Amino acid sequence: MSMQALFGQLLVGLINGSFYAMLSLGLAIIFGLLGIVNIAQGAFYMLGGFVTWMLLNYAGIGYFWSLLLVPIIVGLIGAAIEKTLLKRIYNLDHMYGLLLTFGIMMFIQGMFVHFFATAGRPYTVPSALTGGYNLGFMFLPKYRGWVVLASLVLCLVTWYAIEKTSIGRTLRAATENPTLTRAFGVNVPALMTIGFGIGVALAGAAGVLAAPIYPVSPLMGAELIITVFAVVVVGGMGSIMGAIVTSLMLGLLEGLTKVVYPQGSNMVIFVIMLIVLLVRPAGLFGRER
Amino acid sequence: MSDQRVLTVDNVTGHYGDSHILHGVSMHVNEGEVVTIIGRNGAGKTTLLRAIMGILTKRGGSIVVRGQETIALPPERIARLGIGYVPEERGIYATLDVTENLMLPPRVAAGGMSLDDIYKLFPNLYERRRSPGTRLSGGEQQMLAIARVLRTGAKFLLLDEPTEGLAPVIVQQIGATIELMKRQGMTLILVEQNFRFASRLADRHYVMEHGQIVDVIDRAQVQARMDSIKSYLGI
């Protein structure tokens, strides 16, 4: 095995891990605050990729503007869905949230398959991020490095906002005890709308970052979300830092497996999930309830 | 004492799921009064406070807070009328440290205590300011639950069993805090099992049985009516 191949696969693993992190972070926020397992998270990621592609091809709006605009657009769509659909099922069993978001996913995905078919659409890497660096032991394409950096910054900013700011304090309180938090005068229903918006906006941002790497297709989210859910099970639902750390670790592990035992790379995360479920059902960073 | 009404509860009903808990409760509290709700376990005292706060979702009748009908309002709007709530289970957030617990409730009126004043009043909370809220002892948690509403500026407080399960020395400290609040002109509803504790603080006692107010005893009548109070409380 060459060092080149090893570091190359570890980089791929780190990039995959970055996408897992952005998606599972959003899932953790949404589950904590709304008690909903958002199966549609992959569809919002796809929506992010597609809106990026549409902004460029229909409106001539480029990558960097998309990086700002698309999470806002996806977040607003999410907020509208929360306000009209999700808020109706909060007092029902978790299973209904799963079913409803599954339906939302099928709807969004189905619409895009209907109008755009399933073929992938290319999105060119922005010129400022083309090229790469020769690090000696490997070649690092600039855009790939950018994806890892951008997603790390996004995750850490989100973590900081939740753990260290007054808005995050209110968010944590509403997550832990929504009824009492309302009795203190906090508008928790509005906070839930915002929380869902932010959660899916993170998936939307991941979609923008993904557009130049993976072909933009209506099914791009469906492929990713299954692995992301395994990552979430390993990390434990509801822990912010746990979601980030687990995502990156499992992404790297997946990359490493591609080098030492390529046949196992698609299932290594699921094997880990199985072991974690047997040994620590609440997940590595989760708390037993 | 002015006769200005802070709270008027009129024929209030309340349900938990399918069980009917409050059967037409009527009571009132005037500005600056300390009023207790006493009665046996399961009489509906805690449920009444939850109905006033609006966190009991199935409620009927009329609850007027400072002239505003609140029966159709969500809890966050009711709290903003200037009510501070100290729940029976204390409601300390495990994911927030002591300072964050204190800073959480938004200010609902002017004139709340500053964080520094609170830490001067409760030095042991200052010692533990970086600890997660639920690592505190029961007494410290109760102090924190009370201190938390003092920061918000609320002048009308609902305290649900603030002395439950606490050592006598802590009970004394809580009693002193409540007396301080009373001297500052705050209006209080106190749900209390410990009648000796309650009788020293209260202007008036409402007796609750089976989801209804069955008697009202003024401070002046307490000695004369001790026997009936004992039978109400089953002691």
When CB atoms are compared, the residue of A176, A185, A189 closest to B93 is A176
Q: What is the mean pLDDT of residues A81-102?
A: 93
| Predicted pLDDT of residue A288 | 62
Reduce the DSSP state of residue A118 to 3 states and report it.
Answer: coil
Question: Whole-angstrom Cα distance, residue B103 to residue B156?
Answer: 19
| Predicted pLDDT of residue B114 | 94
Q: Which residue has the higher pLDDT, A266 or B204?
A: B204
Does A82 score more than 60 pLDDT?
yes
| Predicted pLDDT of residue B1 | 42
Question: Under an 8 A CB cutoff, do A181 and B104 touch?
Answer: yes
Question: Under an 8 A CB cutoff, do B108 and A185 touch?
Answer: yes
Nearest alpha carbon to residue A86 among A109, A110, A104: A104
Contact between B7 and B65 under an 8 Å Cβ cutoff? The reply is yes
Angle, vertex CA B234, rays to CA B230 and CA B235, nearest 5? 60
CATH class of B1-81+193-235: alpha beta
Question: Whole-angstrom Cα distance, residue A268 to residue A207?
Answer: 24
Question: Under an 8 A CB cutoff, do A166 and B108 touch?
Answer: no
Q: What is the mean pLDDT of residues A150-176?
A: 94
Share of chain A above pLDDT 70, in %: 98
Nearest alpha carbon to residue A201 among A72, A30, A24: A72
Q: Give the H/E segment covering residue A141.
A: strand A139-141
Does B22 score more than 70 pLDDT?
yes
Question: Under an 8 A CB cutoff, do B85 and A183 touch?
Answer: yes
Nearest alpha carbon to residue B138 among B81, B80, B90, B87: B90
- Chain A CB contacts of B105 below 8 Å: 184-186
Does B183 score more than 70 pLDDT?
yes
Share of chain A above pLDDT 90, in %: 79
Q: Give one DSSP letter per residue of chain B, joined into a string.
A: ----EEEEEEEEEEEETTEEEEEEEEEEEETT-EEEEE--TTSSHHHHHHHHHT-SSEEEEEEEETTEE-TTS-HHHHHTTTEEEE-TT----TTSBHHHHHH-SPP-STTPPPHHHHHHH-HHHHHTTTSBGGGS-HHHHHHHHHHHHHTTT-SEEEEE-TTTT--HHHHHHHHHHHHHHHHTT-EEEEE-S-HHHHHHH-SEEEEEETTEEEEEEEGGGTTTTHHHHHHHHT-
The pLDDT-based confidence of B3 (bands split at 50, 70, 90) is low
Q: What is the mean pLDDT of residues A35-50?
A: 95
| Predicted pLDDT of residue B161 | 94
Collect all residues with Cβ–Cβ distance below 8 Å to A183 and sequence separation of at least 6. B53, B54, B55, B75, B76, B78, B79, B85, B87
The pLDDT-based confidence of A1 (bands split at 50, 70, 90) is low
Q: What is the mean pLDDT of residues A7-13?
A: 92
Contact between B128 and B160 under an 8 Å Cβ cutoff? The reply is no
Share of chain B above pLDDT 90, in %: 83
A188 contacts chain B (CB < 8 A) = yes
- B103 CA to chain A: closest CA distance, Å? 8
- Chain A CB contacts of B86 below 8 Å: none
| Predicted pLDDT of residue B2 | 47
A239 contacts chain B (CB < 8 A) = no
The pLDDT-based confidence of A217 (bands split at 50, 70, 90) is very high
- B75 CA to chain A: closest CA distance, Å? 5
Tokens found for residue B88: 């029976």
- B36 CA to chain A: closest CA distance, Å? 20
Does A289 score more than 80 pLDDT?
no
Residue showing tokens 């660096």? A133
A180 contacts chain B (CB < 8 A) = yes
Question: Under an 8 A CB cutoff, do A185 and B152 touch?
Answer: yes
- Chain A CB contacts of B75 below 8 Å: 179, 182-183
Q: What rounded mean pLDDT belongs to chain A?
A: 93
Q: What is the mean pLDDT of residues A61-75?
A: 97
Question: Whole-angstrom Cα distance, residue A94 to residue A14?
Answer: 32
Q: Say what angle helices A220-235 and A94-116 make with each other, to 10 degrees.
A: 160
Question: Under an 8 A CB cutoff, do A184 and B106 touch?
Answer: yes
Does B23 score more than 80 pLDDT?
yes
Q: Which amino acid is located at B29 in the chain?
A: V
Tokens found for residue B205: 């006692």
Question: Under an 8 A CB cutoff, do B76 and A179 touch?
Answer: no
Does A41 score more than 50 pLDDT?
yes
- Chain A CB contacts of B134 below 8 Å: none
- Chain B CB contacts of A187 below 8 Å: 76
Tokens found for residue B133: 């809220």
Question: Whole-angstrom Cα distance, residue A259 to residue B222?
Answer: 83
Interface of B with A (CB under 8 A): 53-55, 74-76, 78-80, 85, 87, 91, 93-96, 100, 103-106, 108, 152
- A130 CA to chain B: closest CA distance, Å? 44
A84 contacts chain B (CB < 8 A) = no
Tokens found for residue A133: 């660096």
When CB atoms are compared, the residue of B76, B80, B104 closest to A169 is B104
Q: What is the mean pLDDT of residues A175-192?
A: 95
Burial of B164 per CB tally in 10 Å (0-12, 13-18, 19+): middle
Question: Under an 8 A CB cutoff, do B76 and A187 touch?
Answer: yes
Question: Under an 8 A CB cutoff, do B74 and A189 touch?
Answer: yes
Q: Give the H/E segment covering residue A132.
A: strand A132-134
Q: What is the mean pLDDT of residues B175-189?
A: 93
Reduce the DSSP state of residue A134 to 3 states and report it.
Answer: strand
Does A87 score more than 70 pLDDT?
yes
Size of interface A-B (CB pairs under 8 A): 61
- Chain A CB contacts of B76 below 8 Å: 182-183, 185-188
pTM of the full predicted structure?
0.89
- Chain B CB contacts of A172 below 8 Å: 93, 95-96
Does B78 score more than 90 pLDDT?
yes
Q: What is the mean pLDDT of residues A40-54?
A: 97
Indicate the Cα dihedral angle A208, A213, A218, A222, nearest 10°: -100
- A199 CA to chain B: closest CA distance, Å? 20
